[in-house]
Structure 1
């Protein structure tokens, strides 16, 4: 018996084979169909997809054979991978290379063998698609060509299998990254919100106490409060954008009236009016809407807080009106206004439409972009109208609740 020599590039060939992650995998129908077809095409009782490993040949697919693998030193396929084209042995018992091979002398009593090398795109022969018979014979030209074609299909299936595995790994890595990012954002949000909330609460208490009556101290406390509020808004905006970018957030729409929500927003923004000659007027409406109240509150707060921030004197008016099948919440102010050419920039991420002289009023440039995204996810929208020096109007539309 002649043992097949190792290919010159054996180390690279084995690395290529193992790169497919297919050795010792479970049977797969796509490979089994090709093996059955090879058996039928060539009229042989045995057909195999054989992959030649370091010390064995392992069968990814087999027809007519119980063994899952055999030693490499007795493998016909170890000879077949040393050449291109179909390797054919018409009568192994009469061939000095194989006559005393245990696979010939005993079960499965191989006489005829034909194997098409499975050569990948890099030129490495991974194994063979082979057919085996227990009687001497040969293939005709059509059968030889068919065996080569089926061998190329086996390689195509191996490549497809590897691409799918690579995609699955990439997906898992991406999901792991998203989960890690979610954990980081949640932790960061908690770690930042908690101390900022404490700072704002303490400064509010001090302003309401004896220290609030001392001009210098009161000014410092208000500066602390403004800085803390600004930083909290930045944190909320960054976390809000991250949530939208990571995945579409889970909204919880339900039927509710805006009255309580508007009253809550009014109470929340009242501290922003300190030191400003601005009247805040908030209307009410018993008309029910169908939306996520948490997101609606976030949007309305953002619109009203922005209006106050950019209005030094005059008023900020919040009105609610039914318009067709929507409810429109309008926030009008008498503030600095926005140039017409900059209106289109309002809802872009990180966009700033005010000049450097208003730098102390500027936020992250995310609040309106996030608000519009949430509004549209809920079936509504936000539009803006403005005139420099005369103020702005932002309109949030929300779908009305269906009649009960």
Structure 2
């Protein structure tokens, strides 16, 4: 630092980092000599009557001369540069006699070649005020510039910076032109640039695959050559030539373009004005995007949809409640008895024919799917104009659009025949169950009397067979009871008598009543008790649900394990849980856990008996009582089945 001060080291400008960045942006350093800059230094030397004139650019460590007159060196260290002092000001920096100036008298450029005595430098500032260097004149004799010379040097310096800017703009324009040419050559679509009269001046290679024209075939032709007669209004209008580009708007529409062989090609035609920096409009940019693929895709979709049962559709629900079917396959005629165009903009005709008792459920399911973006799935009845009431099943996946509407993609099928078969099966099962129940009750009762030795001692040779018969008759009776319960639930004939129940007492009784079954399986039932909450439920049906859950837990628990019965209040409801330490529920079976006749082991060799109806019945019972049922695995192994019931406040009455 001391050495630099002794040599008059020039101070660093306060905006040095930005100044250096601006200098690099012009890309002038280490470039070949250019006549336009040499002309300026020659004129500066002549006007100022000096042997040396320079255009000096001050870099981080040096000053480099873009143009020089009367000097062989192309650069000098920055710490020796007079120009490095000049860039710290905004006006002419003049040294009349360097030998008398303490900043320069020891400078090697003064004490040796080129023996500088006089220096005058005008800063070269860009449009943002960054001093990039100087236009300077140098003499080997002490002297001073007159007023005219100072003015001339200032004007020449301004001309030099103007040339810097023009040179930068020219380079940028060359780069943009090269980029434009590369884009135009590589773009896959057809791009045409016309003048204000609609004459094509530039063309992209994309016109060949789209329209069959070589690039040279269209240069100089009218844009109307590739547009059908009825779409000639899309051509640039010469009358608009005088309109400033800032007021012009790009236009876009679907139309057809004319192929070289005469056929029409569906395209998206875009027309935009071309101008530079708000100047007068120069022409138009025309883009033709091929829409043939869309037509082909629609035709493929239509052919596929025609082979599918039912209707493939899109349903759109707007934020203001309006709904429509933007797309529906031809199957809509069979399913709804409507034409696709009847509902393309308004879906009210469909909702008007939904069976009145099912309309609220359908509307609610659509709303829930929209709110949660979950899959919509619903079975409902529909009043077909020719078939009468039919059953339909719909499934669709929602998608939120940018306009905040929801668009579903899905299908609807006619399931009337399936529903009819299900009804026939249900009626058959119900009839058979009722017919079997009375004789089976008599058989089971008789076997119980025999095995209970009410009719006398049972011979040892017959005892085992009679016990097997009694066990199987009890299992068959349970199956029939479950079938009849399910039949009543589906038919809406099962009665419910809700009562206020003290949950703690109720669960205590449930645990006690299952102790005998628990001992048979060498399993212990634990109930902590202590919950002070009342619930509203039918005690018989609630007992049936809990009995099913406890029996399953005990049946599937290993010997010596425990089953935990617990309850906890959760806001406005109470959750009762039954947790076991058994094998748990297979992951691939969880989704079918509460379906009718579903069993994790459905083979005829399964070790645990059951009808596969218990959980399905429990689900129906809980929903009819305003509750819910569910399952989750225990982290430490086993399964937890739970039921939720509405809790009653202390002051609530029946």
Higher relative contact order (CA 8 A, sep 6+): 1
Greater Cα radius of gyration, structure 1 or 2: 2
